[in-house]
Amino acid sequence: MTYQQIWQRLTPLYEAGEARAITRLVLERFFNMSMTDIVIGKVSELSSEEENELEKNIQRIEKGEPVQYVLGSADFYGRTFHVEPGVLIPRPETAELLDYIPKVNQKQTILDIGTGSGCIAITASLEHTQAEVSAWDISPKALQIAKDNAQRLNATVDFHLQDALNAPDHQSCWDVILSNPPYIMDKERQNMEKNVLDYEPELALFVPDQDPLKFYTAIARYSVRALKPKGILLFEINPLCADAMLRMLQQEGLQQNELIQDQFGKYRFTKSIKE
């Protein structure tokens, strides 16, 4: 197979530039090939075993499986995380949430609720070296993947199997709580891409019981108890629920509630402070 042949096979699915980028990633991550290797034609020198592996992976992409699952990795905040079916693929918008953690020169305690691949918690721990970071998830599989990611990236995170809807009775222990809980409503299904619906975990995407605020309200209640005074609650939110989210945060007694836009101009985050 040649480099050309691979990206041409991906062009019905992806626009040409993207198909080339994916081809490069596949060759780099599976066969450790550099751009120079590609230019000098190393792709056509693959052994028949390697060709078979390549063929299998191209077919998975052709069938619509997200490239990150096929590669087994996704980039987030400048680092590569292992991902596989069972955890959400980290999204570029989510990385922006990390920038709202205060940059302080002292120890701060940070909790990530619903950590999935661990991308938020691990990045927080590596970017804020004095922080003590904990993370919860309800899925044992996600927790295992998150722990492996922490180990691989040399991050120290305290992981717990914990349901956000049944949070423990903690008092004043966190400086920052962050969460990107499931927030997609059933009525949004028809606008979603097939590869997301077919491959990414329902548990990580969709709100339970048709209640878009269910996780958010539970986490806000927990935060009112468990944040230290002046502690910060940061959410990634569904832009369609922005107004309802602000009302809920106010009702739960959080202060200075703010909607924040993402890089695409959508209200994607909230920031609140505990009195």
Could you list the residues that contact ligand GLN (CB under 6 A)? 88, 90, 94, 114-117, 119-120, 180-182, 204
Task: Look at residue 9 and give its three-state secondary structure.
Answer: helix
Residues near 137 by Cβ (< 8 Å), separated by ≥ 6?
114, 115, 116, 143, 146, 159, 161, 162
Please, what is the minimum distance in Å from the beta carbon of residue 138 to ligand GLN? 10
Question: What does the CA dihedral 61, 63, 69, 72 come to, rounded to 10 degrees?
Answer: -50
Task: Look at residue 177 and give its three-state secondary structure.
Answer: strand
Please, what is the minimum distance in Å from the beta carbon of residue 165 to ligand GLN? 14
- Cβ closer to ligand GLN: 19 or 220? 220
Please, what is the minimum distance in Å from the beta carbon of residue 254 to ligand GLN? 21
For 85, phi and psi rounded to 5 degrees?
-50, 135
Q: How far is the C-alpha of 123 from the C-alpha of 229, rounded, in Å?
A: 24
Tokens encoding 159: 């992981």
Please, what is the minimum distance in Å from the beta carbon of residue 14 to ligand GLN? 22
Q: How far is the C-alpha of 141 from the C-alpha of 174, rounded, in Å?
A: 26
- Cβ closer to ligand GLN: 90 or 212? 90
- Cβ closer to ligand GLN: 43 or 122? 122
Question: Residue 179's beta-bridge partner residues?
Answer: 113, 235
In the numeric block, the tokens 């009302």 are attached to 247
- Cβ closer to ligand GLN: 38 or 237? 237
- Cβ closer to ligand GLN: 204 or 220? 204
Please, what is the minimum distance in Å from the beta carbon of residue 183 to ligand GLN? 8
- Cβ closer to ligand GLN: 23 or 117? 117
Please, what is the minimum distance in Å from the beta carbon of residue 88 to ligand GLN? 4
206 DSSP 8-state letter:
B
